[in-house]
Structure 1
Amino acid sequence: MDDVLISELPPTILRSTLRALVSQGSAMQRVFVEHVRRRLTESPPQLPSATELFLGQSPCYAEFLAMTRCMFSSKMAQESLPYLTHLLVSIPESAVKWESNDPLELILEGVCGDIVQAVQALKESRLRPTDELKFRLQELRTALRDCETYCTSQNLSYPFTRARFQVDDVYSLTFPESFRGRYSPLPSKFVVQPDPAVVQNLEYFYLGNIKVPRLFNGLWQMSSPAWGSASSLKQELALTQLVRNGLIATDMADHYGDAELVYGGFRQCLLPEVAENVVAATKWCVFHPIEVPITHEFVLAAVQERVRRLSGRVELLQFHWYDYTAKDYLRILAELVKITKSHPHLVLTIGLCNFDSEHTEEVCQYLLKETGEVGIVSNQVQYSLIDTRPMVKMSSVCQKYGIKLLTYGSFCGGFLSDSWLGRNAPDIYSESERLTPSQRKYFDMILNWGTWTEFQGLLLTLKSIADKHQVGPSNVAIRWVLDHPEVGSVIVGTRLGVSNNSDSNLNVFSLRLDDVDNRQLENIVLGSRQKNLFETLGDCGHEYK
């Protein structure tokens, strides 16, 4: 009967079923991806002509792009390169044209994001520098260059600036001996300054000697096209708006797509007096065993790689480690702290990312012994009204060693807002819900915390407090996190060029919760719920181990 069920189910339910199966664990996900890879290898997509792709009554670029995305999403990143190249080559061949913000321009901006993600998948696959790969990357670089020439000659917008930076980056990384001429369009200075009327209302704290606002811009949504994709120009405009609002600190990582390259290019185009005050916080994330000796040169090279992509100094480098039983992370962190002293032009401060309380303290003790100081200034962890695990152990470690928490998930993927008040629980695998990967993740967190009915009770309380202070429920949720002494800043996910909530987020700085507000919230979120969540998930970051 399974065959009957599969053959008769509507496509939307089939997709929902697949999402549910894949969510069951890595073994199921591996079977799914391997099956897709095998089918695509046995029957690779065809290459339509330029005319078929873009011209005529029924251009087929949407279907062609869908199959190409299937390739790099199923760990066939290198195999997808000829298809991406073919689409780029077809643009001047077909002489297709577009207007500003018309459907085709938006599609091509999405293609740029596809190239970024395919190349990022190449980087993360620890690829070997073969002649085949070199040829494919050269082809792609040439197609991007020729497409820019065509766009210039036809007075069209060029949608692929991000892709050119990303492709140059992987080529220079993989074939440094033959790399020449990094892509660098003539920069124009962004004449933007933080607005004094806005800045005077912000709150600040210190990371080492760096003064930073208590809201960080988070670029994790650049790690996947699931949150949407925007052109380089739209992203730059979004970043200038954040700077204008005084939100000058931005958090990213080595695996967030091209986030470091985008921010590095933006920072280069700022006026010098503005550029010297923005704060670039990125990460060095180690997800697999390191197969080379841990030396000063190895650690310095990792720092220099971040600096190269950011086109300048890293104000905060945060370190994530895959397995606490492999103790090399202690030596790496000691070297990183030493490099902040010997190479302050490269990196100023060191932090942790998703370390639990026990191993944060272990790091602090080790660094005190090896370097004479704690050395780390922060730890990035999940912290919200739903996830209060940092209050159990982490807060006391932070106070003992002078560490500040940079918190993510404090909006619970947008669930802690009035847009979810009074709504039924979402079907997280349904296409009609249009949930982001973050929302699927935080919906699971909510169900670990309590029932959807109990969550609605929390939203009602948030709404009541928000109405009392004439702000939004999200502002109340963030204010509650910021009011804890161990918290330095909340990281707010920023969909650059897709959406912008920075103006409303600033309301948090005009909000003061009173004792009645705090009692109402803590009666709901602390006590047995906090205890049960800690026992179920473990300490901070354990869900990533």
Structure 2
Amino acid sequence: MQYTYLGRTALQVSRICLGTLNLGVRAGDEESHAILDTALDHGINFVDTANQYGWQKHKGYTEEFLGGWFAQGGGRREKVVLGTKVFNPMSDWPNDSGLSARHIIASCEDSLRRLRTDWIDVFQMHHVDRHAPWDEVWQAMETLTRQGKVRYVGSSNFAGWHIAEAQEAAARRHFLGIVSEQSVYNLVTRHIELEVVPACQRYGVAVLPWSPLHGGLLSGVLRKLEEGTAMKSSQGRAVEALRTHRDAIAGYEKLCDRLGADPAEIGMAWVLSRPGVTAPVIGPRSVAQLEGALRAMERELPEEVLGELDTLFPPIGNGGPGPEAWAW
């Protein structure tokens, strides 16, 4: 397994982060436990979840599922760098969402209980709260870190200027601030190259791309649709994007055929190769999908292949370094 530092911190994480959105929901309990154990056996030490995951059963279910896995012992909790999230509504009550100090602290306590752990390694803001001043947010996060319940703070779905604003506010308080940012990033959706990645590089923030295969769109969707084996790639954002990008996806799958490689492996290898990227967040529904992501980590894409991929899925602006790429 390859390891790297989480942004500017001294914390080491695997170059693949195991996302848990599908565990215990789209993947059965037995398969989900096998995915977690296989990931740990291969050295994946970074596991990501969120307080609302498992909403198909009830909000908080995925954290409970992970808590049950940790309870099996064998050093599972001690070996894992655990991330969870706060922001989304957990009920219809007005103070059970957002980034108020009240909700941040209460949400952390609830997550600790569900996860059956004493601490969260990376407590992530799932979205910016436009009503919460940064002094309120950082006061709550400082309280949790002083109590030993949170080790680091991360963000998700932030704009570049949100990251800059948050970091400047944290610096004024002599607080570490954000150490990681989760953003949607893949060949089809490259917007973060303009502002988010440069902001993260400037402030020493790790970039953790979620949906690195765009909901299955980059995993061989056309072939799967033809064979009738498409599952996730026939739903949600993948279907919507296919309407717009069908020609590019067809060209992509032909390129993968020519390389003799699984499209999912190429898509993942591309994300891993991007400047500033620390660890893509994968969401396997099977051990086989997890093993495919592990193979991608070993694949180096030649410059000519990277060039072909840029032709099929052009970078935003003129392809220069952000944030000036929009200009020339």
What's the TM-score bracket when you normalise by the shorter of the two chains? 0.7 to 0.9
> Which amino acid is the alignment partner of residue 116 of structure 2?
S
In structure 1, the partner of 2:208 is 406
Matched, 1:305 2:305: no
Counterpart secondary structure, 2:106: helix
Percent identity, please: 20
2:49–2:83 CA contact under 8 A, matched in 1:
yes
Contact 1:299-1:335 at 8 Å conserved across structures: no
Distance 1:502 1:372, change over 3 A: same
| Equivalent residue number for residue 330 of structure 1 | 134
Q: Quick check: 1:422–1:456 contact (8 Å CA) kept in 2?
A: no
State the match for 2:73 in structure 1: 270
- For the residue of structure 2 that corresponds to 1:281, the secondary structure is strand
The answer on whether the counterparts of 1:299 and 1:332 sit within 8 Å (CA) in structure 2 is: no
Pick from 316, 319, 326: which aligns with 2:125?
319
AA aligned to 1:459 is E
Q: Which amino acid aligns with 1:339?
A: T
**Residues 367-446 of structure 1 correspond to what in structure 2 (within 5 A)?**
367-369=170-172, 371-418=173-220, 420-421=222-223, 435-436=231-232, 439-446=235-242
Letter in 2 for 1:210: L
Tell me: higher relative CO, structure 1 or 2? Use CA pairs within 8 A at least 6 residues apart. Answer: 2
Aligned mates of 1:331, 1:265 — CA distance in 2: 35
Aligned-pair CA distance for 1:374 = 4.7
Q: How far did residue 416 of structure 1 move?
A: 1.2
> Contact between 1:339 and 1:347, CA under 8 Å: does it hold in 2?
no
Letter paired with 2:49: M
Aligned to 1:221, the other structure's residue is in SS state coil
Which structure 2 residues correspond to residues 72-471 of structure 1 after superposition, within 5 A?
199=1, 202-206=2-6, 208-222=9-23, 225=25, 227-228=26-27, 230-231=28-29, 233-257=30-54, 258-272=61-75, 274-287=76-89, 290=95, 299-312=104-117, 313-321=119-127, 323-324=129-130, 326=131, 328=132, 330-339=134-143, 341-344=145-148, 346-369=149-172, 371-418=173-220, 420-421=222-223, 435-436=231-232, 439-447=235-243, 450-464=244-258, 466-467=259-260, 471=261
Q: Contact between 2:272 and 2:297, CA under 8 Å: does it hold in 1?
A: no
Q: Helix, strand or coil for the counterpart of 2:270? A: helix
Measure how far apart 1:501 and its partner are.
1.8
TM-score normalized with structure 1 length: 0.51
Richer in helix (by share): 1
Distance 1:291 1:383, change over 3 A: closer
Shift in Å, 1:259: 0.9
- The aligned residue for residue 167 of structure 1 is none
Distance 2:217 2:100 in 1: 44
CA spacing shift, 1:404–1:293, aligned 2, 3 Å: closer
CA distance in 2, matches of 1:292, 1:239: 29
Match of 2:289 in 1: 501
**Alpha-carbon distance, 1:291 to partner:** 7.7
User: In 2, Cα distance between the equivalents of 1:286 and 1:395?
Assistant: 24
SS state of the match for residue 355, structure 1? coil
d(CA) in 1 for partners of 2:232, 2:224: 20
Paired with 1:512 and 1:422, the residues of 2 have a C-alpha distance of 25
CA contact (8 A) 2:212 2:271 kept: yes
Aligned to 2:17, the other structure's residue is in SS state: strand
8 Å contact 1:351–1:377 — kept in the other structure?
A: yes
- Consecutive unaligned residues in structure 1, runs of 5 or more: 1-198, 427-431, 533-545
Preserved CA contact (<8 Å) 1:380 1:408: yes
Q: Deviations over 1:206-236 (max 9, x none)?
A: 253321111111111259x5x35x23x4432
- Within 5 Å, which residues of 2 pair with 1:47-86? none
The residue type equivalent to 1:439 in the other structure is Q
SS at match of 2:79: coil
Larger radius of gyration: 1
* Separation in structure 1 between the aligned mates of residue 281 and residue 210 of structure 2, nearest angstrom: 5
RMSD: 3.0
Taking the aligned partners of 2:210 and 2:69, their CA distance within structure 1 comes to 23
**Structure 2 Cα separation of the partners of residues 421 and 251 of structure 1:** 30
Report the Cα distance in structure 1 between the residues aligned to 2:182 and 2:242, rounded to whole angstroms: 20
Q: CA deviation at 1:340?
A: 5.2
CA offset digits 1:151-192 (Å, max 9, x no partner): xxxxxxxxxxxxxxxxxxxxxxxxxxxxxxxxxxxxxxxxxx
**Compared CA separation, residues 318 and 422, structure 1 to 2 (3 A):** closer
How many residues end up aligned between the 2 structures? 307
How big is the shift at 1:347?
1.2
Q: Give the match for residue 57 of structure 2.
A: none
Structure 2 unaligned residues grouped into runs of 5+? 55-60, 319-328
**Contact 2:221/2:233 (CA < 8 Å) preserved in 1?**
no
